[in-house]
Structure 1
Amino acid sequence: MEHLINQRVKTIEISGIRKFFNMVAHMDDLISFTIGQPDFPTPEHVKKAGIAAIENDFTSYTHNAGTIELRKAACDFVEKKYGLNYNPESEVIVTMGASEAIDIAFRTILAEGVEVILPGPIYPGYEPIIKMMGAVPVHVDIRENQFRFSIEMIKPYITDNTRCIVLPYPSNPTGVSLTVDELKEIADFLKDKNIFILADEIYSELTFDHKHTSIASFLKEKTIVINGLSKSHSMTGWRIGFLFAPENIAKHILKVHQYNVSCANSIAQKAAYEALTMGMDDALAMKKEYVKRREYVYNRLSLMGLTVVKPDGAFYFFVKIPEAIHLNSFDFALQLVNETKVAVVPGNAFSKYGEGYFRLSYACSMETLEIGLNRMEQYFKKWS
């Protein structure tokens, strides 16, 4: 029966991040710098709220868009943190993680043959959904601009078919953010164009050198903001995301969401409410530790002679593979893990513009980072 499977589904592949992780996860004594999973536990008060939800039998369907108390809390959170104003009644949807928010946004705004402009390298979670909608992903090479997406780079790719531009900042895999001026330039250029912006801001609470700014603060009427609690509150498994959009857009996305999952997990919604109200600054302690790790990893990689852009958000380094190593990114990562038992993600998992690089996640303890980087240093010494 496989010949009857949707051809668009048959042509997409499992994420390169997961593919490589699954290949090496069985190895003994493995140091894994692969998955973007915070190594901090979910805050205790948030876990207790989830337990209380179960004990109080809060286990039924909620409103399709999420409980009104959680939607109000989410709107209050982004207003206090980023100056964004959304109506909790009609302009926010609680989703099953940021991934579902991306999916339902694309399924609402895309159609056959339209184009979506994305920076490259980029997280691999967008392109498969775009292709399944019959739309066309258009990658823009940002490698020579310190991984920054600028309006001058975007302009040549705008066509009559352009439907959406993806702004995933802070970025996975590079950790780079855009400045206020860069965002405003993009907003000014797009304000008179019939083009959506999908702003994936899941790492918004993990910016290190400046406060996060959302492009929605300049161009709310065209922007769909994706956020959630996976990274800010170490709640990856709770699967709570948020989609913010003007009512005339959100009301259509809600229909797709309703037929997709009905509503987000009721128990996780109670925990999320606790996170956004009593744990508004829970990310600060984690961020402080990430800054220490960033400085340590940056210094170690630099001393190894590796070319690396210092990230200002998230918890990743996107590192250029030395020219002396005549291997593609996948074979390099395979050789590295076989020789050192250190796993990184090959750059080609992040589009063709990630080829020649590897991603290192520093969402792990300083002890683990030291052991893994010591092993990597020995590996790179033989190529220097």
Structure 2
Amino acid sequence: MTSFSYHAVDAAGRLIRGYIEAASPETASQDLTARGYYLLKLDKSSGVLARLRRNLFRQRVKRAEIIELAGNLSVMVGAGIPITISLGDLAEATTNTTLQTTLTGIKQEIEQGSTFSDAIERYDDIFPDILIRLVRVGEETGRFEKSLSDVAEHLQRMDDLASSIKRALIYPTFAIIATGGALIFWLVFVLPKIIGTIKGMGVKLPLLTRMLMATSSYTQRYWYLLPIIALCCWALFKLLKRNEKACYQIDRLKLKLPIYSLIEYNRLLALFAEQMRILIVAGLTVDRTLGIIAEVMRNLVFRHAIDSVRDDITYGSTIADALKKHPVFPLLLVRMVGIGETSGSLDDQFGFLSTHYLKKLDDISDKLGKIIEPVVIAVIGILFAIIIMGLLLPVYDLVSTVGRR
């Protein structure tokens, strides 16, 4: 496929600029004409450049807009309004130009004979994978509007999950940045002047003061290395993430780190339970559901555990027995899944578990400030106690010397 940039005019007379991928200029022109555009200019474009421009300059489609779209489309289709008319109305109603262009393109593709799931799959950089999968399942089972309603509810839960994590990380991030900034300010601007004055008095400097002087001197001289070191650490982390064994160990470490593990572990459990609920409600088999969830899980420890659970179920094990073999799944989850299997209410049990772990995340985000605060205060206190001791020791020596004289 080749990338083309185009200038066109839509049915309302508005100038449209964008990029399209097609096998040839003729195919690109036909696709744009089918969308209702009057083509003014079509040029071949570098694929990399096109993606860069598209990502930098196009208006971003927010998760809330996708949730609203799925919910409104479910209501309109459920009321008997044809999908093409629904998409046209929603395209006119939205103020997001990127979403408007996307919906218009989807509408044109459906009018040409494409299914809705195939049409939105071409825009996988806008629509999440779970939406595409559930819509396809809904089309296969005749539950299209219900699938849209379910995915809207699911995405809202995922949005709540993301909001909880952000709230939980705001205070620690601010505390670390503020502490680091204050320490660098002291080392670069304050300490050199104070220690310079003390040195001018001819006092013999103790070891701690000399260490502070050396630290301050190196910070002043090589301050530019700090962002370089941070960048190198980030690059090294990215390289390690490409190695599966290293990535597994990093993900394993995330589940053991103090405080952070509370967020990461409950996030993964909430994601697992919510994905299981929504896919089981959609009518997927358990083994297929676990296969999809394994792809979604970014933590390799959980992914390997889910793959193993899927294999055990394929060989005849119950879900609860398969989950019990892996320590990453807590006893509560295993017990509730066992009840769901016995009573035939797996979707309800996973719904309860999803709500439970989301609530735990909310509680953690509310309490994290109180957990982190004493740690931050202790670290700041130790750092500045060292600095103050380094400054006061030579002053004490000076006063003692004067007193003996």
TM-score of the alignment, normalized to the shorter chain, above 0.5: no
Higher-Rg structure is 2
- Structure 1 length-normalised TM: 0.24
Larger helix percent: 2
Larger strand percent: 1
Q: Which has the higher contact order (CA 8 A, sep 6+)?
A: 1
